[in-house]
Structure 1
């Protein structure tokens, strides 16, 4: 992120990050092939043009049916993108979307100001960038721990959200009450661990909040909310940094 900020500026870096996040929306739409798409795949596999006239006519007919199927599939995908049925049928899913969007927002704001915060305390850029490194290392261990907990089927909703959220809030408070380099380095490690843990755990628990029939639409809304959280964090933090001179774009 620091490299992209220096290379493309703050706005350019978050345009790239936002573009990557929005690609997850398309991935969510295509998460599970519909019955129509499966039928089209069978038609693709069985389509074999022949040399005789009757075979050519049949091939043309099959091609037209395939084209019609593709158009219907595109309309279906668009409907899935705009479908709010998971929210209507699963009210708890609204809470889940809010939590995941807030996680994405918090991570973005934290990541933006981590290095500039260090330099504002008089720490050199070479040492301040280690805050990001510590956060990344902590994030790696956070995701590994979540994977192990889910592997042994020991994850609880409170352990997935409340506990790491409280841990992150306590860790962030150290940024306010201390200016010791080693303390801040440890704080970045714990913060990265907590944010990665809660993000991975929240995503992994997503299927528990929607039924199988609404899984694909829910995935679209899930990553749409997460992408909006990242974008909102970038926009607000960018405007704050521009007006206060914390970062140079």
Structure 2
């Protein structure tokens, strides 16, 4: 029962974390007007929140040498909520928005990654791929649920109070963090093994051991790229998260640009979230039947996404836009899930941990750049339409990249470190 409680709490954390980037788009225009600032700065603050959560993954792995998964998850949940509450109570300038959302993003980063680490103590290695795939489907559940909730808060209580209420919701991440603990028998076994291994090196300072561990983790990155297609997959992941963050933050703005009401624009987010959920489930089916390849993972989804974005910029009908955004969520869900899942299986065991951290860094950088660049495009052009046209162009570039990938799709699991 303990492992299923842990799994359920991770799903709640993913809903709140991934839903926040979409929900932020609901209040984008309000914050720009209230703070008398630009779309680029506010969107940058929104993307920074989610980018930091991924970019601090090396730091989180380092902190796990000193603190338990449970401790980091609970502290992270508190910080995730406090960041929003700070914005609701203190926000009078865009710099305070950056501070509050950075604290919130740092907290989410502390809460999410350790919870995945704790999974390995509750599930067998053969079960983990399926479990992680199931968790991934809940990313878009948050995208579907949280924007309407924030819109309700905004309509009834105003901007600042809605941020405070969103922070109160985020506090649930801290409560869920209590479940992120190892089984007692595993903890005792690990302690015995640890003592047996470290006894000879007790005289060595802990700081030296930590430095060696970090140096080992990031050393020999050159040999990592001896594995085929790793560079292509990292680029594809960077672009996928850039497009996702831009799509999420500016979707409500696109609806308003196309003449929809506030309520109709928020429903676009719900449609996109449901489409993404189905896309993630579809990716799991593709993996089940071994149908994942450069065409199903990137070429077809990215070409469809690009076409949908272009058509969406020319449509003003609510029902047509609803269908288009649903399709774009579905195709992005397939693309991101397939690329993310392919990466660990494309390297040898020696580089497994390194590629996981590089994945998080790539996703974080893509998210980080997305808000600022997309906001700048809107400020310069005066229209969200050009944001989506630029995203369509990026998807076409991924189509070209997938053709290059298709020329030699099979990964090479051998490198200089494979025998270590």
Q: Which TM-score tier does this pair reach, normalised by the shorter chain?
A: 0.7 to 0.9
Aligned twin of 2:53: 20
Q: 1:171-182 alignment to 2 at 5 Å?
A: 171-182=308-319
TM-score (norm 1): 0.77
Structure with higher Rg: it is 1
The one-character-per-residue Cα deviations of 1:162-199 (angstroms, maximum 9, x if unpaired) are 11111211211211332211111111000011111100
Query: What is the number of equivalent residue pairs in this alignment?
Result: 228
Equivalent of 1:157 in 283, 294, 309? 294
The one-character-per-residue Cα deviations of 1:41-97 (angstroms, maximum 9, x if unpaired) are 4354669xxxxxxxxxxxxx9597186467424432244246523543225211111
Aligned twin of 2:363: 226
TM-score (norm 2): 0.48
8 Å contact from structure 2 (residues 237, 339) kept in 1? yes
Q: Measured at CA, do residues 205 and 192 of structure 1 come closer, stay the same or move farther in structure 2, by a change above 3 Å?
A: same
Q: 1:95-244 alignment to 2 at 5 Å?
A: 95-243=232-380
Q: List runs of 5+ in structure 2 lacking aligned partners.
A: 1-20, 32-41, 65-116, 121-188, 385-420
Q: List runs of 5+ in structure 1 lacking aligned partners.
A: 33-38, 48-60
Q: Measured at CA, do residues 90 and 22 of structure 1 come closer, stay the same or move farther in structure 2, by a change above 3 Å?
A: same
Instruction: Name the Cα RMSD after superposition.
Output: 3.3
Measure the CA separation in 2 of the matches of 1:211 and 1:46.
28
The one-character-per-residue Cα deviations of 1:138-163 (angstroms, maximum 9, x if unpaired) are 00011111112223333233211111
Measure the CA separation in 2 of the matches of 1:209 and 1:11.
33
8 Å contact from structure 2 (residues 47, 370) kept in 1? no
Measure the CA separation in 2 of the matches of 1:235 and 1:83.
33
Q: Which has the higher contact order (CA 8 A, sep 6+)?
A: 1
Measure the CA separation in 1 of the matches of 2:207 and 2:337.
34
